[in-house]
Amino acid sequence: MKHACLYLFLFSLLLSISANGQEPDSISKPKEKTIDGWSLGVVPVIAYDSDVGFRFGGVVNFYDFGDGTIYPGYRHSLYFEYSLTTKGSGIAQFLYDSEYLIPRVRISAEASYLTERALDFYGFNGYEALYDSKFEDDSEDNPEYLSRIFYRQERKLLRLRTDFQGRFFSDKFRWLAGVSHYRIQTDTVDIDRLNKGKPEDKKLPAIGGGLYGDYVNWDIIPDDQVYGGNNTFLKAGLVYDTRDNEPNPMRGLWTEIIFHWAPEFMGNGEYAFSKIGITHRQYFTLVPDRLSFVYRLGYQAKLTGNMPYYMLPFFMNGGYSLDRDALGGAKNLRGILRNRIVGEDYLFGNLEFRWIFLKTILWNQNIYLALNTFSDFGMVTGKYQIDISGVPEESLFLFPDEKEKLHISYGAGLHIALNQNFIVAVNFGLATDKSDGKSGLYIGLNWLF
């Protein structure tokens, strides 16, 4: 694939604005400064992909640190992200997080509308679905080329969510409850739209909908799920949290068990189901305030009901953690193709060293720079049952008789933090198996966990 991806996250975010009106300090101060009042972090977003077009927009995050006595904790966080591509993909997202709107109850709310003209789709059950990079490699000497978007589909996602957390016997134990709604529209990729304005030698070939179109034609995707659907969830769980610092903990535990229930009476119909998610994270200090080792282990499984295919590619969280894509990509298995590992049940893990090698005060703001090295792994443990009886014999090779096993990646990254909470993250990962892709470069916000 000749994707000319240029991620020019302009680190002019360090031109951040603090609403507390204090005078600039020297950057040579050895001790971290306490921040009060409102702080603003800004990241412009500029990117280019030859298929989905030029992306432009920005991220803005407001933090209210109050009188500074709770720093690096905050009273309120308001996060806004808006970006569009010239071919119709977009992100419009608002997140709110506070423990002070309702005394002693943490409220986390989200309103997101995400449109993707070329979302990764590789089939189901990990290695039981073939990924062959030659199908999307448009090199002139590659006779097996089909299309750069062979492994793609279109998806529009509206997600609304409100979660609450409160004290349960002690500050370390919390209960969690919430409600979320997903409205998902899926389809084959609109090739005509993506080809608009391209020279003839750069246009995507017509391929009948790619792999997703094949799955539809072969009745692997049920007729009533082809164009997506709606699901509304209730959630409840318990959280045990002893972290010393939420944005980048140096010690402590963060463990949660959450039940997600999409009941029939809330409009889920025949696609009512329930699932459980268990995530354990632990943080070890190796050198105080500088070097730490951290790990995360996660497991999610369907408990009851009938889960539609379009709800499979989500790692569902609770509280202020966003629901993410399935295994593969920026938020779990860095270096492995996004949504490469999709099933009803799966487990994953992340091992990571984090080294803060520079701390300073710049423009009256606390800044630190950190490097990290990591290894990520995951696999499907409960298959999504599919019927391949309608697959033509010449296409059965797309469903290899291969046993699922761990998908593994490794890599390194750089993080730039403003006032400990607003963190720009750059990670580069490599897959260890070519059937999981080659590598991935990710530029976003925050530590992985």
Query: What digits encode the pLDDT tens for the residues 94-137?
Result: 999 999 999 889 999 999 999 999 999 999 999 999 999 999 99
Model confidence pLDDT, tens digit, residues 324-351: 788 999 889 999 999 999 999 999 999 9
Let me know the angle formed at the C-alpha of 403 by 402 and 406, rounded to the nearest 5 degrees.
120
pLDDT at res. 51:
59
Domain map (residue ranges) of the chain: 85-445
Average pLDDT, the chain: 89
pLDDT higher for 46 or 234? 234
Question: Does the N-terminal peptide bond of residue 103 adopt cis geometry, omega within 30 degrees of 0?
Answer: no
Kindly report the three-state secondary structure assignment for every residue of the chain.
Answer: CCCCCCCCCCHHHHCCEECCCCCCCCCCCCCCCCCCCEEEEEEEEEEEECCCEEEEEEEEEEEECCCCCCCCCCCEEEEEEEEEECCCCEEEEEEEEEEEEECCEEEEEEEEEEEEEEEECCCCCHHHCCCCHHHHCCCCCCCCCCCCCCCEEEEEEEEEEEEEEEEECEEEEEEEEEEEEEEEEEECCCHHHHHCCCCHHHCCCCCCCHHHHHHHHCCCCCHHHCCCEEEEEEEEEEEEECCCCCCCCCCEEEEEEEEEEECHHHCCHHHCEEEEEEEEEEEEEEECCCEEEEEEEEEEEEEEECCCHHHCCEECCCCCCCCEECECCCCCCCCCCCCCECCCEEEEEEEEEEEEEEEEEECCEEEEEEEEEEEEEEEEEECCCCCCCCCCHHHHHHCCCCCCCCEEEEEEEEEEEECCCEEEEEEEEEECCCECECEEEEEEECCCC
Let me know the angle formed at the C-alpha of 396 by 395 and 398, rounded to the nearest 5 degrees.
80
Query: Residue 50: pLDDT band by 50, 70, 90 thresholds?
Result: low
pLDDT at res. 444:
82
Q: Which residue has the tokens 């986390």?
A: 108
Q: How far is CA 136 from CA 130, 150, 152, 203, 336, in A?
A: 13, 6, 10, 13, 16
Taking Cα atoms as reference points, which of 81, 59, 79 lies closest to residue 12? Answer: 59
- For residues 283 and 248, what is the distance between their CA atoms, to the nearest angstrom? 9
Residue 341 carries which side chain, given as an amino acid letter? I
- For residues 139 and 299, what is the distance between their CA atoms, to the nearest angstrom? 39
Query: Is pLDDT above 90 for 53?
Result: no
Query: Residue 319: pLDDT band by 50, 70, 90 thresholds?
Result: low
Taking Cα atoms as reference points, which of 81, 74, 86 lies closest to residue 48? Answer: 86
**Single pTM value for the model:** 0.86
- For residues 329 and 316, what is the distance between their CA atoms, to the nearest angstrom? 15
- For residues 442 and 177, what is the distance between their CA atoms, to the nearest angstrom? 31
pLDDT higher for 50 or 90? 90
pLDDT at res. 91:
92
How would you classify residue 13: left for phi > 0, otherwise alpha for psi between -120 and 50, otherwise beta?
A: alpha
pLDDT winner (highest mean) among 187-191, 311-315, 359-363, 406-410: 406-410
Check if the beta carbon of residue 399 is closer than 8 Å to that of residue 129: yes
The stretch 37-54 carries a mean pLDDT of 76
pLDDT winner (highest mean) among 52-56, 135-139, 205-209, 431-435: 431-435
As to burial, measured by CB atoms within 10 angstroms (0-12 exposed, 13-18 middle, 19+ buried), residue 238 is middle
The stretch 239-258 carries a mean pLDDT of 94
The CATH class of the 85-445 domain is mainly beta
Q: Which residue has the tokens 């990646």?
A: 409
Check if the beta carbon of residue 107 is closer than 8 Å to that of residue 161: no
